[in-house]
């Protein structure tokens, strides 16, 4: 899989892409991640990439030409026509279902903006989908792009160690995880529940399932809705 990221701040990606699972996946050749700086495609000598909104209003808008020329540049580097994704607060909300969809693609192109937003003609000319990572306000699309890269890359076959992928399969039942414990048996006067020390695996499974249901009721009652459970396994 190839992932392109178009951004004004490519340096923000250095650390997340050079750590843990994403790094390993790149080394294993499962994914190639290419960063492009939109500012390299600014025409004028002072490298302007944003301008004031027609009709007035606060902030600045990303200009179409630098973004679309940057996109054209990455598209000509590779014949695969990837899905083009604009990171915006107005987009389809990213979830595990979309992560799985994107992990099945051969190429995705993520465009991270800054300022108040993108000139609408970028979406139209690029035939881009808009994606948001949730209902909160970020200062740009870069962190959203990193979230998507992390969630997608760990789904690529061969990306995780054997233990991780096995664990992932058996617990994608739409509930939150049950509480976990490790040594010591007693910490700050708090004991590990007896059932986990009992060696009775039927009882342990039953306890974990019950705890998972309780946790989900308390923190994410929306997940107990049957439809959501099947469409968005976490
Ligand atoms: C006043 C209107 N704001 C829209 C909610 C303006 C605005 C705020 C923040 C416009 C862009 C941004 C920057 N955010 C993103 O680029 C972004 C984002 C987000 O803020 N939340 C969740 N997902 C995403 S994806 C890109």
Instruction: Give 156 Cα–ligand 1 centroid separation in angstroms.
Output: 28
- Hey, how many other C-beta atoms are within 10 angstroms of the C-beta on 156? 16
Per-residue pLDDT, 167: 56
Domain boundary among 153, 186, 206: 153
Q: Is 227 found in the same domain as 133?
A: no
Is the same domain home to 28 and 64?
yes
Torsion angle of alpha carbons 163, 164, 166, 170, nearest 10°?
130
Q: Is the distance from the beta carbon of residue 16 to the nearest atom of ligand 1 less than 6 Å?
A: no
Query: Is 51 among the residues known to form the active site?
Result: no
Element (H, E) at 209: helix 201-219
CA distance 209 to 164: 19
Q: Given this model, what pLDDT does residue 169 score?
A: 47
**Same domain flag for 149 and 219:** no
Domain that holds residue 94: 2-153
Residue 162 lies in a domain: no
Query: Which among 169, 186, 194, 226 is annotated as catalytic?
Result: 169
**What's the Cα-to-Cα distance from 2 to each of 18, 74, 99, rounded to whole Å?**
16, 11, 15
Domain count for the chain, please give it.
2
Phi, psi of 139 (to 5 degrees): -95, 0
φ and ψ of 46, to 5 deg: -95, 15
Let me know whether 87 and 195 are in one domain.
Answer: no
Q: Is the CB of 113 under 6 A from ligand 1?
A: yes
Q: What is the pLDDT of residue 200?
A: 98
Regions of the chain where pLDDT drops below 70: 162-172, 227-234
Tell me, yes or no, whether 145 and 178 share the same domain. Answer: no
**Ligand 1 within 6 A of 89 CB?**
yes
Token pair of 19, please? 């750590």
Q: Is the pTM for the entire model greater than 0.75? A: yes
Cα–ligand 1 centroid distance for 139 (angstroms): 7
- Supply the pLDDT for residue 230: 57
| Whether residue 207 is found in the same domain as residue 126 | no
For residues 180 and 148, membership in a common domain is answered with no
Q: Are 127 and 165 within 8 A, CB to CB?
A: no
CA distance 60 to 49: 10
Catalytic site includes residue 116: yes
- Cβ of residue 137 lying under 6 Å from some atom of ligand 1: yes
Which class for 102: exposed (0-12), middle (13-18), buried (19 or more C-beta within 10 A)? buried
Ligand 1 mean position, distance from CA 33 (Å): 24
pLDDT at 170: 43
Residue 116 alpha carbon to ligand 1 centre in Å: 7
Residue 141 tokens, joined: 């699309």
Last residue of a domain, one of 153, 183, 212: 153
Look at ligand 1, atom 13, and give the residue with the nearest C-alpha.
140
The token duo for 174 is 């739409």
């Amino acid at each position: 899989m190839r992932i392109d990221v178009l951004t004004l701040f490519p340096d923000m990606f250095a650390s997340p892409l050079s750590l843990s699972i994403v790094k390993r996946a790149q080394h294993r050749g499962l994914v190639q991640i290419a960063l492009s700086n939109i500012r390299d495609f600014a025409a004028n000598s002072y490298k302007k990439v944003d301008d004031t909104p027609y009709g007035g209003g606060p902030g600045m808008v990303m200009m179409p030409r630098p973004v679309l020329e940057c996109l054209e540049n990455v598209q000509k580097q590779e014949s695969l026509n990837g899905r083009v994704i604009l990171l915006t607060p107005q987009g389809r909300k990213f979830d595990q279902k979309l992560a799985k969809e994107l992990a099945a693609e051969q190429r995705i192109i993520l465009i991270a903006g800054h300022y108040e937003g993108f000139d609408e003609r970028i979406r139209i000319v690029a035939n881009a989908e808009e994606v948001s990572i949730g209902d909160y306000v970020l200062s740009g699309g870069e962190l959203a792009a990193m979230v998507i890269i992390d969630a997608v890359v760990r789904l690529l076959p061969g990306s995780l160690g054997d233990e991780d992928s096995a664990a992932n399969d058996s617990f994608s039942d739409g509930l939150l995880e049950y509480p976990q414990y490790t040594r010591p048996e007693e910490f700050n006067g708090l004991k590990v529940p007896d059932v986990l020390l009992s060696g009775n695996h039927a009882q342990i499974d039953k306890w974990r399932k019950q705890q998972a249901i309780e946790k989900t009721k308390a923190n994410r009652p929306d997940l107990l809705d049957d439809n959501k459970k099947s469409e968005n396994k976490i």
